[in-house]
Structure 1
Amino acid sequence: MLFFHVPQIILITFDGGVNSLNFKTYNSIFLENRTNPNGCPIRGTFFMSHEYTDYSLVEDFYSKGHEMASGSVTRRAGLEDATVDDWVGEMVSMRQILKHWASVDPSEVIGMRAPHLKPGRNTQYEVIVYCFNL
């Protein structure tokens, strides 16, 4: 079996703000001439946080078909032990910020990543189910 006949899934994700410091690097990954074997362009998922984000650049990536997801407003430590209200404040608020500042359709922000990759156990799951309509 040849390697080019083997289906592959490669996930490209980024965590944190999009700004002038990383925009050029991100853009260099998603060049128009880089496509999947079926000709579709490659896309990434951006787990957004509010701090250091230039929303005009987020809007640019979103308009090109990249997925925007919630990475929390503040990226604060200790969220893994927080309440449902704290999680809603971080994750759902980030979705609303993306709508307001980058024209991202909130119904398309269905993913979320816990700050510092420290999951909030059942509390985080409740927010995913009830606030992200999964």
Structure 2
Amino acid sequence: MRRVVFWLCVLSISVAPAICKKGQKAPTCPSKGCEANKNCRCSDSSFVINKDNLDEYPQLVSLVTDDALEEAIYNDIWLPLISTYQNPDGSPIVNTFFVPHEYTDYKIVNELYNYGQEIAVNSITKNNLQDYWRKASEETLTKEFLGMKKILTKFANIPSENILGVRTPQFQLAGNHTIAAYQAADLKYDSSWPTLPSLPLFPYTLDFASTQQCTLGSECPNEAFPGFWILPINDLAGKNGKECNVLYNCNIT
């Protein structure tokens, strides 16, 4: 059986766009004007969370996978999970499935969507070469992401407007090309950008320059993309202090 990979990120959704021409670097986020009710939020890792201020910071744990959805995995893992476990308020847990095309059973995708799970985009090819994603043109990436969104709409019968999220394979961003391709596909948020446990971030928009580290050899965006959200993957500190963004790499079970 193919291994299912789980990803966790700690997130908090809160929401004066910058006006920049294509090719211009995004300006620094101002102390005022980028507000939640205007679908704008600055990136900021200056806060410190400790046992004395836990009540000041909401914590939501996002359970995510970007593997193909097959019948065996659905029956053995996902169906028992979503039918057994609940949130503290009694509501069913909701997972985000960043779906690639290869090996995916779209009947299963449709069933998960109808169970109330979030279906999002991974890519058509899920090419295993990191340089393919790092060095791809905007045109190539648009074909990957918009094409996958169209496939989900057609074969899993999911309304296009309900497909909002995207994760690029292996977390390999191609800088501004990647975000521009996301927007060409009318996707609203990305979850491909890891950050170290020592510099955690809440979700933010790319109206202004990101302060997030650029890791894993990716090229990170430096232009403004108003209203487009980044949901950072805050790495976990596993056993022996090992940092990871995949649970099995941290030996967490």
Letter in 1 for 2:141: W
Letter in 2 for 1:47: F
Superposed CA RMSD in Å reads 2.0
Q: CA deviation at 1:129?
A: 2.8
1:69 and 1:112 in contact (8 A); partners too: yes
Counterpart of 1:42 in structure 2 is: 93
1:1-134 → structure 2 map (5 Å cutoff): 8-24=59-75, 25-31=77-83, 33-76=84-127, 77=129, 78-132=132-186, 134=188
Q: TM-score, normalised by structure 2?
A: 0.48
1:114 and 1:120 in contact (8 A); partners too: no
Q: CA deviation at 1:124?
A: 0.6
SS of the residue corresponding to residue 48 of structure 1 reads strand
SS of the residue corresponding to residue 98 of structure 2 reads strand
Q: CA deviation at 1:11?
A: 0.6
* Counterparts of 2:69 and 2:126, CA distance in 1: 14
Q: Which moved more, 1:75-84 or 1:85-94?
A: 75-84
Q: TM-score, normalised by structure 1?
A: 0.88
Letter in 1 for 2:118: E
1:48 and 1:68 in contact (8 A); partners too: yes
Return closer, same or farther for 1:12/1:105 CA change in 2, 3 Å cut-off: same
Q: How high is the sequence identity, in percent, across the aligned residues?
A: 26
SS of the residue corresponding to residue 10 of structure 1 reads strand
Q: Deviations over 1:39-66 (max 9, x none)?
A: 2110100000110001001000001111
* Counterparts of 1:111 and 1:13, CA distance in 2: 11
2:99 and 2:120 in contact (8 A); partners too: yes
Where do 5+ consecutive residues of structure 2 fail to align?
A: 1-50, 189-253
Letter in 2 for 1:30: I
Letter in 2 for 1:120: A
Q: Deviations over 1:39-96 (max 9, x none)?
A: 2110100000110001001000001111111100010131221111111110000000
Q: CA deviation at 1:7?
A: 5.6
1:79 and 1:86 in contact (8 A); partners too: no
Q: How many residues align?
A: 130
Structure number with the higher helix fraction is 1
- In the TM superposition, structure 1's runs of 4+ consecutive aligned residues that sit over 6 Å from their partners are none
* Counterparts of 2:187 and 2:93, CA distance in 1: 26
* Counterparts of 1:65 and 1:87, CA distance in 2: 28
Return closer, same or farther for 1:133/1:43 CA change in 2, 3 Å cut-off: closer
* Counterparts of 1:133 and 1:26, CA distance in 2: 25
* Counterparts of 1:120 and 1:68, CA distance in 2: 23
SS of the residue corresponding to residue 21 of structure 1 reads helix
* Counterparts of 2:124 and 2:141, CA distance in 1: 10
Q: CA deviation at 1:21?
A: 3.0
Where do 5+ consecutive residues of structure 1 fail to align?
A: none
* Counterparts of 2:115 and 2:62, CA distance in 1: 17
2:149 and 2:185 in contact (8 A); partners too: no
Q: Which has the larger radius of gyration?
A: 2
